[in-house]
Amino acid sequence: MFGLTFEKLFLVAVIAGFLLGPSRLPGYARKLAHGVRSIRDFVDTTRAEAEQEMGVTLRRSEWESIDLRQYDPRRIVRDALNETITPNSAAPPADALLIEASAVRPGQKYLVTGTSSHPRRILIASLPEDDPRRIAAEVDSVPREPVGTVEIA
């Protein structure tokens, strides 16, 4: 606690014994014990009130059992992007088309827009033929030949 070892505490007690004297030392020890008890009681009552108001236990052992990595934003976005939507036979036709269009198929290319916290995937094939984003994606997907060659002798 606070980097204090038993040896350091013993040294502080010996110095206090010399400074205060043997007659006043027991009274100060009682005051110190009373102060430590009151701080411990304050912490316990504050923790109990917080647990009661929040409805959540604040014990370290119970918090260590929770996997906090599930709240990592990168993991949430990755799972959302890798999520596949299965068609539902009870869905209306318009919803079925949306579900089919949003299904992830190997080899498809998507345009990712939006912010990093709220990415949006747009299927490039669903964009109009004259859309500049589709034209740019198709141009970027075509392999380019080198413009010029340089001979090294």
pLDDT in tens, 71-110: 888 888 888 777 755 555 555 565 565 556 555 444 557 7
* Whether 87 and 116 share a structural domain: yes
The domain tally of the chain equals 2
CB 110 within 8 A of CB 121: yes
Instruction: Specify if 79 maps to a domain.
Output: yes
- Looking at the structure, do residues 80 and 132 belong to the same domain, yes or no? yes
**Whole domain around residue 104: which residue ranges?**
73-141
2-19 burial by CB neighbour count: b if 16+ within 10 A, else e? Answer: eeeeeeeeeeeeeeeeee
Same-domain pairing of 84 and 132: yes
> Does residue 125 share a domain with residue 88?
yes
In a domain? residue 1: no
The reply to whether 30 falls in a domain is: yes
Global pTM exceeds 0.85:
no
pLDDT tens figures, 38-84: 999 999 999 888 888 887 777 777 767 777 777 888 888 888 777 75
Whether residues 83 and 44 fall in one domain: no
Task: Based on the fold, state whether residues 125 and 77 are members of the same structural domain.
Answer: yes
Tell whether 54 and 98 lie within a shared domain.
no
Helices and strands per DSSP (H, E), number in the chain: 6, 2
